[in-house]
Amino acid sequence: MKDLHSHLKVSPAINPAAIVNSNGTSTGATIDTADYYSLEFVVQSGALTDGTLAISVYHGDASNMSDEAVCAAADLLGDALSFDGSVSADDSATKRIGYRGSKRYVRIKVVQAGASTGGYFCALAIQGHPRVMPVA
């Protein structure tokens, strides 16, 4: 059966944002994994003129993420995510990282550094393998 539509939940992790002299941390939405067996974060950059973005995945058992910790490499699928404004391949690029840890709540944080004119980025959380189908 070719029905991916009924098997995925897509949520905003970080809404589209400009990187202009912000040089700080953008904290993504907390994703509840309770009814899904898989989670993938997809981060997309717009045109980047300078600066870097480093993306880290955090997880915890508390819904307010008061117990959050950076995920160990063993809890992730794929390489660490980063974007470099001086590398043309990172302009309008899409990168992804999967979560396979055991914590219920997960989110990403994007640390921006060295941006004077910057660019744009956004992120989505894609949850799959739901306990109950179809996904509403």
For 70-127, how does the pLDDT look when each residue is reduced to its tens digit (9 = 90+)? 999 999 999 999 999 888 899 999 999 999 999 999 999 999 888 888 788 999 999 9
* Strands, E assignment, 7-118: 9-19, 25-27, 31-32, 36-45, 52-60, 69-70, 76-77, 81-84, 94-99, 105-113
pLDDT at 133 over 80: yes
CB 13, CB 125: distance < 8 Å: yes
Amino acid making up residue 96 = R
Asked if the structure places residue 41 within a domain, the reply is yes
CATH number at residue 103: 2.60.120
Closest CA to 97 of 122, 124, 63, 120: 124
Q: Which residues constitute the domain of residue 11? A: 5-130
CB 113, CB 23: distance < 8 Å: yes
Q: pTM for the complete prediction?
A: 0.92
Asked if the structure places residue 135 within a domain, the reply is no
Q: Which tokens go with 26? A: 């953008």
Asked if the structure places residue 136 within a domain, the reply is no
| pLDDT of res. 12 | 96
In the numeric block, the tokens 């905003």 are attached to: 12
Number of structural domains in the chain: 1
Asked if the structure places residue 82 within a domain, the reply is yes
Between CA 129 and CA 41 the distance in angstroms is 15
Asked if the structure places residue 60 within a domain, the reply is yes
Asked if the structure places residue 77 within a domain, the reply is yes
In the numeric block, the tokens 């004077």 are attached to: 116
Amino acid making up residue 24 = G
